[in-house]
Structure 1
Amino acid sequence: MSVTELKPRVGDSEKITINLGVVDLGQIDLLVQEGFYANRTDLIRTAIRNQLTVHSDVVRQTIIRKSFVLGLQTYSRRELEDRQRAGERLQIQVVGLASIAPDVTPELAAAVIDSVTVLGAFHASSAVKAALAGRIH
């Protein structure tokens, strides 16, 4: 089984909040002031990417072992309707972004989707999320 990594488009990001000690924050500000990074966010993104690179083999092996999709995965109404006609059920397992099209009804989603496991972000209408509430892990 191969792993396909999809590159996110600009704007395909999620905001996170972290708490740092004042000493760590001061050191970050010092590196920014000295020109090593453009701003705090630049340093934090760089640090996170470096750690992901360090652990990339573990991430890749786990994705393969657990049959996750890596990157951006969109589920259209047509795809879900096709699966429903074929009598197929869907287990969504994504590391990245899983998105259910806005025109998917809660009834269709509930009829086709058995489970949703997303490490990252899950975008769907509030009605679809409510219909799948017991199936989202």
Structure 2
Amino acid sequence: MSDNVLKLRDRGGDTEKITINLGYVDLGRVDLLVQEGFYSNRTDFIRTAIRNQLAAHADAVTQSIVRHTLELGLRDYSRADLEAVKAAGERLQIRVVGLARIAPDVSPELALDTIDSITVLGALQASAELKSALAGRIR
């Protein structure tokens, strides 16, 4: 099933919103850089800062992904994938850095029969019913 893993682009249409608290002085410095034209807006500054930090720690991230046997990028789990896992008498430990998606036609029963655990550093997209059924297995 590893042919079902896609590398996510660094920039894309799918994003996750985060909220941060920033001190007034730091916020003023960001606004000053925006005003001076170094960045188009606060979001541009924050994205650039995050990308710079990720680039600075790229080796550590790569080593951690290998050490923890995580899949990097977009990982889709279809109903057919999970039915094949069930037919083989196997169970999944889903471990993704990026985005893990479980198809909307996967029933809670099938998910419970085939998924032992889910660890996603990023985002998990699945129906509310599926997330509720798997709540005890999501870390």
Structure-2-length-normalised TM-score: 0.93
Aligned partner of 1:100 among 72, 81, 102: 102
Change (3 A) 1:94 1:105: same
1:135 aligns to what? 137
1:60 aligns to what? 62
Aligned partners of 2:8 and 2:98 also within 8 Å: no
The AA in structure 2 aligned to 1:41 is T
Identity %: 66
1:90 aligns to what? 92
- Cα distance, 1:5 vs structure 2: 7.1
SS at match of 1:108: helix
- Cα distance, 1:7 vs structure 2: 2.1
Aligned partners of 2:91 and 2:114 also within 8 Å: yes
Aligned partner of 2:32 among 26, 30, 39: 30
C-alpha distance in structure 1 between counterparts of 2:97 and 2:47, whole Å: 18
Within 5 A, what are the aligned runs for 1:66-81? Answer: 66-81=68-83
Which deviations, in whole Å up to 9, do the C-alpha atoms of 1:7-64 show, x marking residues without a partner?
2473211000000001111110110011100100000000000000111111100100
C-alpha distance in structure 1 between counterparts of 2:132 and 2:99, whole Å: 18
C-alpha distance in structure 2 between counterparts of 1:16 and 1:85, whole Å: 39
The AA in structure 1 aligned to 2:60 is V
Structure-1-length-normalised TM-score: 0.94
- Cα distance, 1:131 vs structure 2: 1.0
Which deviations, in whole Å up to 9, do the C-alpha atoms of 1:74-108 show, x marking residues without a partner?
10111001111111100000011111011110000
